[in-house]
Structure formats: C-alpha cells, structure tokens
Structure 1
Amino acid sequence: MGAKPNIVYILADDMGYGDLSCLNEQSKIRTEHLDQMAASGMVFTDGHSSSAVCTPSRYSILTGRYNWRSSLKRGVLGGYSPSLIEKDRLTVASLLQKAGYRTSCVGKWHLGLDWQTRSDDPTDVDYTRQIANGPITHGFDYFYGISASLDMPPYVYIENDRITAPPSRITRGDDEMGWWREGPTSEEFEHEEVLPRCTQKVLDTIGEAGNNPFFIYFPLPAPHTPILPSPEFAGKSGTNAYGDFVLMCDDVVGQIIRKLEQCGLNDNTIVIFTSDNGCSPRANYPELAQFGHNPSHVFRGHKADIYEGGHRVPLLVKWPERIKSGSTMDQTVCLVDLIATVADILGETLPDDAGEDSISNLPYWEGRQLPSTIREAIVHHSIDGSFSIRKGDWKLELCPGSGGWSDPKPGQEAADSPTVQLYDLRQDIGERVNVYGLHPEVVQELTSLLTCYVLNGRSTPGTVRSNTGGAEWEQQLAWLK
C-alpha cells in the first residue's frame, strides 16, 4: 500500500438528493462541479443518513454508531446544548489522529459544547472561558466554526476551544428564507460571510498541509437557513434563493477540488460529498415546483420524515488512485459506515466498543465483485424518534405517518391508520401503497431484526453493548412491547 490518502469530507446541510443534476436529470439546478466530481468518481444512488435531521446524523458519521443509541432520542441540539458524544468514544477523527493524520474540523459542529456559564441558565455563557468537550476533545487537532446551525445562537466564531470575539449585539433574521433566531452576535460575525469564511479556512488548511496526511471534516452551514446566497449567485440557478444557495455550495466543492489539484494532492485524496438529511421545507417546495424542480426527486417527504425524502441523500466519492471514474453503485449504504471504511483503508480493525453499526464500503469503492450486499439492513430515524428498517427492497416504518413534518404529521394521522407501514421500494419508490397487511411475515421478520439490533446495542458482529440512556427512550420503542 502506498502513502496514506488524505480525506476531505464535505457535508452539506439540508441538501436534497434531487438538487444534484448528476442524480436527477429533471433538476433545474445545474450543479456543474458536483457533476464533474461524479464523473471522476463514484455515485451512490442508494445512500442514506442515519437520521432525517442534523445532530443525529452527525453523531453517526463521526462515531459509526446509530444516533438513537446516544442520549438524544428525538429532535436536535441547540447552540447552547451540552456535548453529545460520549467521553472516550472513538471517532473517525481520533482514529485518524492516532494513525498520524492532521485532523481538522471547519464549519458547523452541532454536536453540543460544554460552555462555561455564570448561572444555571445555559444561555448565560461566560465567553471569556474555555469551551469543554468540543471537536478538540473528540479527535480534531484544529477546529474553526460555529456551535450549531446558522440560525441558532450564539453567533460567534470558535477557534479550537475559545471564541474569537465576544458577542456585542443582538441580531435577528426576519426574511422568510434569510431567517435566524434572535441571539447574541459578535461584531465580526455576519451570517452571509460564514460559508465563504469557512471555505477559505479549508483552502488554507489544504495549502498548509505539506507532506503529512490530513483529514478535513467540512460540515457546511448551507444550504440550511438562513438561505443567503452571495450576490454573485443571486438569480444564477433560475429557480429561487434556495437554488442559488445550492449553486454556491456547488462552487465551494469546485474550489476545494481545484485547490487539491493546484497542490498536487488530487490523486491520493479521498473527497466525499454528502448531506446530513433531505431538503428542508424552508426551501419552499411549492415555489420550486413552479420552476419544475423537486429537491426530493421521486421520493416521498423531506427533512425530518421517516420517508425516503428525509434520509436518502446525495453521496459522491472521488479517489483517483483507487476509484474508477464514472462509476455508479446502487447498493444500500449509510453515512454511519465512514469509520469502518477508514479503518479498512488503514488496514486496522476497530475495537469491539467502537463503530458498532459501521460497515466498510471500501469493497464497493474498489469495484470488487461481491456475492451479496455487505449490509444486512439499515435503520432510519425521524425527528420524533420513529424507527424504520430497510432490508433489500422492503422498508418497514414503525409509525402511522411521516414521523416528521410532512403529512400525515405525528398525531394528525387518520383514526383508522395502521400503526405500521410496509413498502416494496422496487415497485413503489414513492412509498404510497402500504402493503403491511399482505406480507405479515415480512413485518415480523423486520420487526424482529430491528428488535435484535436495539437490544444488542449493535448491528455488527461483536460483544453485546449497552445503548446510552435517555428519559424519552421508552416513548420511542412502543413497538417493542
């Protein structure tokens, strides 16, 4: 094996599968840089985040553990929330750090930070004090970015474990798309500048890399709200402001790949592009539809939902030394697979208490002929904590509706709605014909398999493990009873 490959992991925030023109021929947003990345690497057509919302998906990406095994059983964290990743848990960053990589996280963290406060009020932050249990604690040598989503205060930049400037004013975004919650804001912080500033940090990090292998985790703050495309992208998509913001994200990918080429790092650098969940309704689906664009493509639902539109995400991987250009993979994979894939690349075996739900995708990347799929099944989770399990073409959803924000919303389902949904995705990719009553044996098989995954604390071979506790856990497991 040659030199250790560099890894750049670009995570879009709320970008839909159907937004990429390389994945959706009907896309009205021409993502030229992502299309070029797809042409020079591998496109996954059946890639999934573990959850349909932000924080849980990020937990799974870094830990290789399904998000619902953490203490967060539903919803997302806020900007003042405490750290979610458990103490001493191996992350993909700490794995690579131990292997001699320079590890950097730039952008949106959204996995909790232990701010030092002056009182019991979690928002009463003492901004002069060091922040504990952030990216630096969990395997990153360097961090620059924001605590959570760009619409969540506090609006300050964090470098490593300290803010770069204290808040000096209160701001609020009132536009329909350019919206953010009212909160303390530092003088240097302008919401429109966060994506360009973080992109420049990534470019600088690549330029300063030298001969040492590096891992850059770049969770973009976009195209999540506030939707703020810079003037050069305004109107460029031919759709609405969301489409323009998607093009701005596409340009970011182009900048990073050009920088790698300029530095002579292209061939032995793995570039991964994906999204933490499906597109948000904040993108204004009805308005986009007037332009003939659907961010969810042919899939039902969107961000927050148990349906495919909530968690089937764009996933592109480029590695010129090992991945054949222009290749396509239609096997089911999950973003939770990153840590096992990285361990496989390094020729290492994960400890028994790490990456409990992660499976290496390296055989797919290398185009090996395999007798069967490498993943037995995949578990999905919605914003309200509803579960789904997918095995082959069958997808079982253990809730009567979307479990999220699209109709039927939780608590608003018809009184006679069945408590479970079963879809044959080969025949019904739009998840419209519930066939649970026709296939009770499939419902039983998948329910039993999911029960096993939950009780064993893992979905991969190994020692039975405990899931991290949480007060709302029982509410999420009614089907177990």
Structure 2
Amino acid sequence: MRCPVVSVVLLISCLDAGGHATAGKAHAAEPARPNIVYILADDMGIGDVGAFNPDGKIATPAMNRLAAEGMRFNDAHSGSAVCSPTRYGILTGRYSWRTRLQSGVTWGYSLPLIDSGRMTVASMLKSQGYNTACVGKWHLGLEWGLKDPAKKPSDDPKEPWDNIDFAKPITSGPLQVGFDTFFGISASLDMHPYVYIEDDHLTDIPTKEVAASGGKKFWRKGPVGDDFQHIGVLDRLTDRAVDYIETQSADKPFFLYFPLPAPHTPIIPTEAFQNKSGLNEWGDFVMQVDSVVGSVMQAIEKQGLTENTLIIVTSDNGVTPKADFAELKAKGHNPSSVYRGNKADAFEGGHRVAFIARWPAVIAAGTASDATICHTDLLATAAEATGVKLPAEAAVDSVSMLPLMKDADTPTVREATVHHSVNGSFAIRKGKWKLMFCPGSGGWSAPRPPAARKQKLPPLQLFDLATDIGETKNVAESHPEVVQQLSQLMAQYIERGRSTPGAPQENEVEIQLMK
C-alpha cells in the first residue's frame, strides 16, 4: 500500500452553528508572514458554543466575539472522531489512519506517532525562521526513558509504568517535530502519568500514586507529581500560553500550538466557574474554556498583534457522553446541536466541529463559509500564508483554507473529506453526499458496532446531507451510482497514500476499509 512578520493565531475550541456563507472579501494587500496560535478545545460539542447554536444555553462571550470579528466555518470537520488521530492530522496534514493507529488513541506511555523526519506545521514554520511552542495536551506519544530499553511500551491502555524511568529525559516528543519549547502533559488529563513536562524533562518526579476518580471527575489510578493537581492544570497551562505570547513581538513570527485538556474528563471547573452555567459541571467547564480563549485574545491585543493575527477556534472532535446528555437536555441544551451522534462516531456529531477564524488583515468581520474544511488543512494553509512550496511527501491530505479566508463566497476547495471513528470505521463526504462504510455509528452512540452487527444492519450507509442533516434515512439502495463513485474515490485515497494531487505516497500499514 502507498503511504507518503504577520501574526496568525489559531484558536481551536467549539462554537455555535447557524448562518450561511456571507459575502465579503478581505483586504486586497497581501500581509506579511503571520504568527500562528492554535488553540484546540478537547471534546467540546459544536452545540456548546453560541456562535454555532442559537438554541444553546452556555454563555461563550469570547468565542462569540471572535466569530463576530472573523469568519465562522459551518462545515468544519476533525480528521477523526477521537483525540490522538485528530492531533496527528492537525500537525502533519495527513490522516492518522495512514499510520499504525488504526483505531482508538495513544496512551500516556505510547511511542511517538509522528515519524522522525515527517514535516509538521511546527517544523515547516521553524525552517522559515519562526519561534515555535507547544503548551498543553500532547497525546501523540513520547519516547520515555526506560529502565530496560528492550521492553518498549505499547498502545495498550493498561500499559504498566514500572519500566518508565521518569528521571531520564524524553528523547522523542514535541522538540523533535519542530517545537522550540514544550510545557504540558503527556496525554489526556484522565490518563497517567499525572506530571508536567517542560521541554524534555519532568518538573517533578512522581514518587506516589493518586487513586482513581469516577463519574464526571473520571481519571485513572496512576503516578502523580507533587506539583500536580488535576483541577489546577487548565489554569497553569493558560498562564504558560499567555506568558509565551507576552514574550513575542512583531519582529519575528511565532507559532503557538495550544491544545487544551478541557472540557474533556475529568470535568472539573475551578471554583470561579462552578455553578455558573445553570446547567451542570459540563456547562461550567465550557465557560471556563471560553475564558481561556478570552485570555489568549487579550494577550494578543496587549502585544499589539491583533490586526495581523489569525485566530482559529475549534475542537478535536464531538462532545463526550460524560457531559451527561440527559441532564443537559432537561435544561434545553444539546451539545451536538442538530447533528446525530457524539464523540467517537462516524455520524456528523462525532467529527463536525465549531471552527472560527479571525485575522483582521485578511478576513472580513462577521463572515461565514459553508465550504467543507478539515483540521488536516492547517499545514497547507500555513504554507500558503508563508509562501512555502511543500514537498510531495508532505501534507498529503491538506488543502489550503486561505482562499476561503480571503473570500467567504469561495466554493469548497476540497474534493472530498474522509472521516474515521473510534473503532476504525470510515466515511467519505463529497458535496451533499456522505457514505459510511459501517453499520451503525462506528462509535459510542446507538447503534454501536456490536448491536449493529447483531441487528444485521446494512454495511453501507449513504446520506444526503442537503436534505437530511440529521442522518435519519439511508438512501444507499436508491443511489447505487453514488455509492460506487464514493467507494472508488475512497479506495483511490487509500491506494495512492494521499487525497490531494501529487506523487503517490506510502501508507505505513495495510488499510482495511471495512471493519
């Protein structure tokens, strides 16, 4: 099988839906190279942000302001319906199903998912003279120091930590894929080890274990550092991100990748946000995430970088069921808005995300685009914005969003977009048509894969999203020509090792289309 100075701030979180492409072209003059700050919210539903869900019940003033001052993308998608694969796609411009990770996510001791030598957004920008930093949740594997180097850790969630030598430096991580500096955590906040990593070492060596926690405050039992408290992590990361921005200037461009650990479990808003939403802890935590976006915006403004700063706000996938859908529904809030499903699913609710971009020098305020985009598009966008010609083996699934940012009326620039669920089920979207190569959700909403197989549901599902955005009617039998066309295109994307024009590339493993 085949494999392969302007300020731009990219903030990724979740926003409300509503509205259609609004005419409006930005400034004609080409700006200088942008700074890029990318903020990625974790598990936030598209319906959790007011700008994307007029019926939502959570106050998100910072993200709403960002949308009013920039562009809202109404058809944005994560590269996967779960955490690690999406992060891989953001940084590499390549779908993660081309790697060893065919389903699920990496864990706290997993080996690096990004191969050495593969171009990332960070490495490309660093080669162009950018300062580069990552603050937050990494979740793409690390090369930990080992007591016995012959015993390599696996992607098993039950991987023990007794062979990890926490006193040794990390030899492969963010610094090896283009970041000058890193401060953050190894994986999700509910995954051990519960320690802060500064560049290639821990800020405190764990000598004790923390007991497991349940419910909305879920985390697993594991080693913890003395300077680590779960409830304080989001604030500490925000302080570090703001501090970094405040050391930057217009003299040299910078890239800050800021993947948040929230509102993913453990759902633990700080005291300042508890009971503020009037819904539950989830609503409170989303409000805290919104305040983080506001803090970053304020830091950019303080540095005088607003005009030539691109801010993008989105989420890594759909909303987690831990938000307690029944509790939220009882108070009139749907974190998935009008879309079916949630985190982990091949249905829209698993991967359709809020996505806002503000860049006053380029993007007209108060605009919206209905063009389909994907998180994998960051690398091609950054390359075009900085005048870099990408090599054939890089960004194989990345299409520049810059034409859309310059003119909201620009039609979709992607030929098609591939979706991937937690169990490895595929879907492909082209125009109004979406073909799912699985019965059921492929994830956590009903019907889950075992139930779908037991019910002998059709192995292929075709939806016309123009008339059925809620994915309620499978029309595969009445449109066999569409099924054939999309099946052939999906097979081509797999075989060629890329979904964009260019020389064929290699996938790292053999890809199985039907699970």
Answer whether TM exceeds 0.5 for this pair: yes
| Alpha-carbon distance in 2 for matches of 1:262, 1:417 | 56
Partner of 2:445: 406
Secondary structure at the aligned position of 2:414 is classed as: coil
| Alpha-carbon distance in 1 for matches of 2:224, 2:304 | 39
For structure 2, the residue ranges without an aligned partner over 5 or more in a row are: 1-29, 154-160
Secondary structure at the aligned position of 2:223 is classed as: strand
Partner of 1:92: 121
1:129 corresponds to 2:158: no
Higher relative contact order (CA 8 A, sep 6+): 2
Secondary structure at the aligned position of 2:451 is classed as: coil
| Alpha-carbon distance in 2 for matches of 1:81, 1:409 | 27
How far has the Cα of 1:212 moved from its partner? Answer: 1.6
Partner of 1:106: 135
CA distance change for structure 1 residues 299 and 2 in 2, over 3 Å: closer, same or farther? closer
Asked whether the equivalents of residues 248 and 303 of structure 2 are also in contact (C-alpha less than 8 Å), the reply is no
Aligned with 1:272 (options 288, 312, 321)? 312
Partner of 2:32: 3
Partner of 2:496: 456
Aligned with 1:304 (options 320, 334, 344)? 344
Partner of 1:337: 377
1:477 corresponds to 2:506: no
Aligned with 1:189 (options 215, 225, 228)? 228
| Alpha-carbon distance in 2 for matches of 1:169, 1:382 | 36
Secondary structure at the aligned position of 2:85 is classed as: helix
How far has the Cα of 1:174 moved from its partner? Answer: 2.1
1:34 corresponds to 2:63: yes
Partner of 2:42: 13
After superposition, what is the alpha-carbon deviation per residue over 1:233-283, rounded to whole angstroms, capped at 9, x for unaligned? 001111100110000000000011011111111111111111110000011
Matches within 5 A, 1:201-216: 201-210=240-249, 211-216=251-256
TM-score by length of 1: 0.97
How far has the Cα of 1:416 moved from its partner? Answer: 3.1
Secondary structure at the aligned position of 1:174 is classed as: coil
Partner of 1:423: 463
1:373 corresponds to 2:412: yes
| Alpha-carbon distance in 1 for matches of 2:279, 2:266 | 17
After superposition, what is the alpha-carbon deviation per residue over 1:208-229, rounded to whole angstroms, capped at 9, x for unaligned? 1132211100000000000110
How far has the Cα of 1:43 moved from its partner? Answer: 0.3
Asked whether the equivalents of residues 346 and 442 of structure 2 are also in contact (C-alpha less than 8 Å), the reply is yes
Partner of 2:4: none
Matches within 5 A, 1:104-253: 104-119=133-148, 120=151, 122=153, 123=161, 124-210=163-249, 211-253=251-293
Identity of aligned residues (%): 52
1:355 corresponds to 2:395: yes
Deviating beyond 3 angstroms after TM superposition, the runs of 4 or more aligned structure 1 residues are none
1:111 partner amino acid:
L
After superposition, what is the alpha-carbon deviation per residue over 1:83-125, rounded to whole angstroms, capped at 9, x for unaligned? 0001100000001101111000000000000111113374221
| Alpha-carbon distance in 2 for matches of 1:274, 1:202 | 17
Q: Which stretch shifts more, 56-65 or 412-421? A: 412-421
1:15 partner amino acid:
M
Secondary structure at the aligned position of 2:353 is classed as: coil
Asked whether the equivalents of residues 31 and 361 of structure 2 are also in contact (C-alpha less than 8 Å), the reply is no
After superposition, what is the alpha-carbon deviation per residue over 1:273-298, rounded to whole angstroms, capped at 9, x for unaligned? 11110000011111111111111000
User: How many residue pairs get matched?
Assistant: 474
CA distance change for structure 1 residues 451 and 187 in 2, over 3 Å: closer, same or farther? same
C-alpha RMSD of the superposition: 1.2
Partner of 1:389: 428
